[in-house]
Each structure stands twice: as structure tokens, then as C-alpha cells.
Amino acid sequence: MPSPHDTLAPRISAAIAAAFGEDFRDADPVLRPSQFADLQVNAALALSKRVGMPPRKVAESIVEHLDVADLCSGVEISGPGFINVTLADSWIAAAVVEMAGDPRLGVEIQPQLVIPIDYSAPNVAKEMHVGHLRTTVVGDALARTLEHLGHRVIRQNHVGDWGTPFGMLVEHLLDVGEGSEAARLVETDPNAFYAAAREKFDGGAEFADRSRARVVALQAGDPETVRVWESLLGLSKKYFNRIYSTLGVTLTDADLAGESMYNDDLASICDELQAKGIAVESEGALCIFMDEFTGREGKPVPLIIRKSDGGYGYATTDLATIKYRVERLHADKILYVVGAPQALHFQMVWAAARLAGWLPSDVVPIHVQIGNVLGEDKKILRTREGVALKLMALLDDGVTKARAYVDEARPDLSETERATIARQVGIGAIKYADLSVAHDSAYVFDLDRMVSLTGNTGPYLQYAAARVRSIFRSAGEDVTGVPRAVEVREPAERALGLQLLEFGSVVRHVGHELEPHRLAAYLFELAQAFSSFYEHCPVLKAEGSVRESRLALCSLTAAVMVQGLDLLGVETPTEM
């Protein structure tokens, strides 16, 4: 069920072709909603030079050849050559009915691509920070949306589970005793565990020596060491999973694809790069120098793939992720939802992978850059009230704030009901705040604003959906009933209908451009269109076919709101 834009665009193209010949057919003529019309066509300006006619004449010619009698009630030329199109009320009404009868609500299945998506990726035995919160929330929204569009999404949680600190961490775990209270900190307060290990490492040569020996044993695959390392991972997994289930994200243990998974590939990656002459030894390290990556004074920046001590690093592992995702997962597109500061790292890794022939030109790697989350002081949010920030405490605070609202607004509900709504609203507020800004721009973490019921917030949208449901409860009707007929007469009805019809193209756009904030903005506009409709068009007090029609618009609004929020990973309470 194409949107007004998608229905009109081919007609405009056809008219251009009919007027000026096939050579001038415009696959995607510029059409946008404007103050003066439902859609404004802005094609004449660009065409005028090519066909050597004044823009207004071009516009007249297009209109003469335009076949839209079934679709439009008015076509007018304005200004220098804009074509203002008013859609027919009857067309909007019929399209709304069609959309309401479509279980996919107008979201068309796309030709399937295989898309591994690397997101979340916290580090073992460390606290997840707000940056990890953001990649988790944005990555999950993208995974859900791409899956809904019909793609084969393969979640890859590239957790940091390898490297020299693990000698120290394993040794500390053995010291405090597996199963002890101090060991359980990995699960409840990972930074405290890490800090305790670090302190011992910095404070005593004996522990530091044992830790270094432990790294060697771990790398050599000593069974006892590997077992303890695995138990450390197990504890961390419990911590990650508690955060994931609180957030309601779709990641499971099956999606874990940590750094250690690639250990066996690293030596051969280095050998192959060296044999191909792509990597060279420099000051004892194995490095790749590429002309396009230069630092100060034009000196090439090295991509180090084997350190002088023989150890491999983050870059080597990421070369392995490319190989794995291309060769084994058969990726068409590879998404890395990772902090913006890692942009150079990925560019260098991809360029190296292309040189090595591991990244064919038809496979597109994309860095979905994650911007910073800031505190009120506009610096990266790391502490709260002077103490190191704990992600779980932050999420709990969101729920507590929402709970205060629910207790006040709905004393009639049971304790369990209020607890459920508070969780949905508090967590939804935090996730939505993250998703409503472009993923690569920074935002200030302000819980009070996030849980507010006004403005572009999660609770405002959840409330809009809950309100529609309550209308149906009062009417004693089923919210999912398929409408028999819809009429759009009032401006607010038209505006709501038109907004509903855009859903499919917005979701498709989110899948193409990887911009969940577009869906958030769309849903916010939908909630506003609904508010204004509800204010101007009585629903339950209306009668006959008008009542039926308005209930149908309400029902479709609820369906789109619930589906849209679900694609973002935000739950909708049945009442608020």
C-alpha cells in the first residue's frame, strides 16, 4: 500500500516523460508536503535548464500530461513553477481502509539482505557505560526494524573478553575464591572487582608477576586457566543479561561473538597480510601503512596488527570480524554500531581488508556512529553525584520516577499493574530519549525531561497509544476491529489520515538510512496529529458512519503507534 508520495511520484515521472520524452523521466521527482498543499512537486526548476523552457512553462506542461483524476482533487501551479497537489478526500479514505486491513500496516517487505549487526559490545568484568547503553538501544532498534523489513539480521555482540587484563582478573578471581562474595562483584558491581584486581596489580610485584604468567597460560590454552576465565565470562554474562532484560533488548547468549572467538584466526591474518606485502615490520611491530591515512606532517599512521611483544590487538580482531562476516555469514551489509571516536579505526580496518581482498566491493560495511551522552556539565556522563555511574542504578532511577507519576495518576490500579506500567514508562522514556536524537549527535542525559508527559518523549507517545485504547474501552468496542468505511472531511481527519499513510515509507527509510530518530519523529508527529483530531472531532459523541469512521482512525493510530514503538524497542502500556 504505497504512501501518497509513492503513489504520486511515478505519475509525475510519467507526465515528465510524456511531456519531454523518456530521456527526461525523473525516477525520483522532488515531492514534499508544504504549507499550501498536501504535496508540492519541485521538478520544474531543475528541468527548465535541460529543456530550455521557463520553469512555469515546464510546470504547465507536466500538469497537462498528468493523470491523477483518481488521486487528486486539485492541481495548481504556484510561484516560479511549483506544482501544488491536493489529494482527494476519497482517495485518502480508501487508502486508510486498505492500510487498516493490511497486517503489515503498509510496511512492504524488502528484497532480503544478510546483515550482521555489531552492537552493544560491553567489556567483560567492567561496568557498561552510557556509551554502551546507547549502542545497545540504537543497535536493537535497527535490528528490529531491519528484521521487520524482511532482512536476515545476525546480531553480533562483540564483547571485550580477551587481552592482557585477563591475566590479572583470573588471578584475582582465584585469590578471592570462585563463588565468594568478592567474586560475585563481577555480576553486581564489575568496576569494584576490576578496581580491586588493579590495585593489587599496581601494589605488588608478586601479584603482577603471577598475572603476567597467567596471561601466558591463558594464551597457551592451559585448561585450568581457561576454565577460570570462562567462569569470569559466565559472571559477566549474568551482569549483561540483567541489563539487557531490564532494557528489554533482543540480545541473547546466542548472539555473543566476543573478541576471543577470533583468536585462532589472528596469526594467519598477520601472515597473509605480510606475505601479500600489505603489512611490514616497523620497530618490531607488524604494521600496515596506507597512503590515505596520514597524521601530522603527512606521516602515514600505522595500523598495528601485531605488537612488538607478539600480541595482537583490537585492529587485528576487527580484521577477523570482516573475514568472518563476509566468508561465513555471507553478509551483504555489515553494520558496526559503535562510538563515533572509533571512526578512523574502522576506516583503516576496512581499507586494509579491501587491500587483502577480504572485503569484496559489493559488501558494504557501515559505521553507525554513536554520539556522546553528556551530563548537565556538558561533559561525557561518567559520574552521578560524585560517584562512578552505574547503569543499573540509572535505569532504576527512571523506573522510580515513572512510578511516582503512576502512583499519583492511577491510584485505582493494583500494585502489580502500577509496577508494570512504571517499568514500561521509565525504561521506555530512557530508550526513547536515546532514539529520538540522531544517533551521531550528543545529548544531555536529563531524566526529568525524559519521563515528562509533554514534548517529544516516550511517555507522551505511550500516553497517546494508551488514550486511544481507553476510548475503545469506554465505547465497549474492540480496538482491533477492521473498519468498514472511513470518511475524511474535517481538516484534522485528513491530516491524521495523511500522517498514518506515511508509516510504510518512514520505516523503509529507517532501514535504508539507519536512522531510528526518523521513526521517533514520525511517531511524535502522529501523536500530535491524533491530539488535534481528538480535540476537533468528537468520536464517542458522534453518530452512525461518522462515529464508525472516527473509531477506525483511532484504531489505526493505536496500531501504528504500538507497531512503531515496538520497532524502536519501546513497550506500550495498555493503560496509563
Footprint of ligand ARG (CB under 6 A): 118, 121, 123, 158, 160, 318, 321, 336, 338
40 or 156: CB nearest ligand ARG: 156
Q: What angle do CA 126, 336, 520 make, to 5 degrees?
A: 95
The position carrying cell 499493574 is 417
User: 415-435 and 516-536 are packed helices; what angle lies between their axes, rounded to 10 degrees?
Assistant: 120
3 state DSSP class of 286: strand
Question: What does each C-alpha distance from 85 to 12, 15, 238, 288 come to in angstroms?
Answer: 11, 14, 57, 57
Q: What phi-psi label fits residue 283: left (phi over 0), alpha (psi between -120 and 50 degrees) or beta?
A: left
Looking at the Cβ atoms of 335 and 461, the one nearer to ligand ARG is 335
Nearer to ligand ARG, 160 or 504 (CB): 160
- Rounded to the nearest whole angstrom, what is the least distance from the CB of residue 21 to ligand ARG in the complex? 50
Nearer to ligand ARG, 118 or 487 (CB): 118
Non-local CB neighbours of 557 within 8 Å, separated by 6+ positions: 464, 468, 496, 500, 526, 530
CB 575 within 8 A of CB 421: yes
Instruction: Choose between 321 and 572: whose C-beta lies nearer to ligand ARG.
Output: 321
User: 44-51 and 4-20 helices cross at what angle (nearest 10)?
Assistant: 20
Shortest Å distance, C-beta 517 to ligand ARG? 21
Shortest Cβ distance from residue 229 to ligand ARG (Å)?
A: 17
Angle at 221 between CA 218 and CA 224, to 5 degrees: 75
What b/e sequence results for 108-130 when a residue is b if at least 16 CB atoms lie within 10 Å of its CB, and e otherwise? eeeeebbbbbbbbbbbbbbbbbb
Minimum Å distance from CB 283 to ligand ARG? 25
Judged by CB, which is closer to ligand ARG: 250, or 528?
A: 250
Q: What angle do CA 383, 386, 392 make, to 5 degrees?
A: 45
Q: Closer to ligand ARG by CB, 160 or 569: give it.
A: 160
Q: What is the 3-state secondary structure (H, E, C) of 52-84?
A: CCCHHHHHHHHHHCCCCCCCEEEEEEECCCEEE
Q: Which has the closest alpha carbon to 304: 324, 323, 325, 318?
A: 318
Between 125 and 567, whose beta carbon lies closer to ligand ARG?
A: 125
Give the total residue count for the chain: 576
- Phi first, then psi, for residue 72 (nearest 5°) are -120, 150
- Which of residues 8 and 389 has its CB atom nearest to ligand ARG in the complex? 389
* Closest residue by Cα to residue 490 from 434, 436, 546: 546
- Residue 318 C-beta: closest distance to ligand ARG, Å: 5
Tell me how far, at minimum, the Cβ of 538 lies from ligand ARG, in Å: 53
In the complex with ligand ARG, which residue's Cβ is closer, 316 or 572? Answer: 316
| Distance separating alpha carbons of residues 64 and 414, to the nearest angstrom | 64
- Name the residue type at position 267: A
Q: How far is the CB of 160 from ligand ARG (least distance, A)?
A: 4
* Cell numbers given for 330: 555471507
Nearer to ligand ARG, 158 or 467 (CB): 158
The closest residue (CB) to ligand ARG is 121
Minimum Å distance from CB 334 to ligand ARG? 10
From residue 317, how far is each of 166, 216, 259 by CA, in Å?
16, 19, 6
Angle at CA of residue 167, ends 162 and 169, nearest 5°: 90
For cell 500500500, what's the residue?
Answer: 1
Helix or strand run (H / E) with residue 280: strand 279-282
**Shorter beta-carbon distance to ligand ARG: residue 316 or 499:** 316
* Minimum CB distance to ligand ARG, residue 11 (Å): 45
Please report how close the Cβ of residue 15 comes to ligand ARG at its closest, in angstroms: 48
- Three-state DSSP class for residue 467: helix
Work out how close the CB of 125 gets to ligand ARG at its nearest, in angstroms, rounded to a whole number.
12
Closer residue to ligand ARG (CB): 158 or 403: 158
The angle, 0 to 180 degrees and rounded to 10, between the axes of the packed helices 223-247 and 415-435 is 100
Tell me the closest approach of the beta carbon of residue 187 to ligand ARG, in angstroms. 19
Q: How far is the CB of 343 from ligand ARG (least distance, A)?
A: 12
Residue with cell 501523536: 527
State the nearest-atom distance from the C-beta of 157 to ligand ARG, in Å: 9
Nearest to ligand ARG of 48, 123 (CB atom): 123
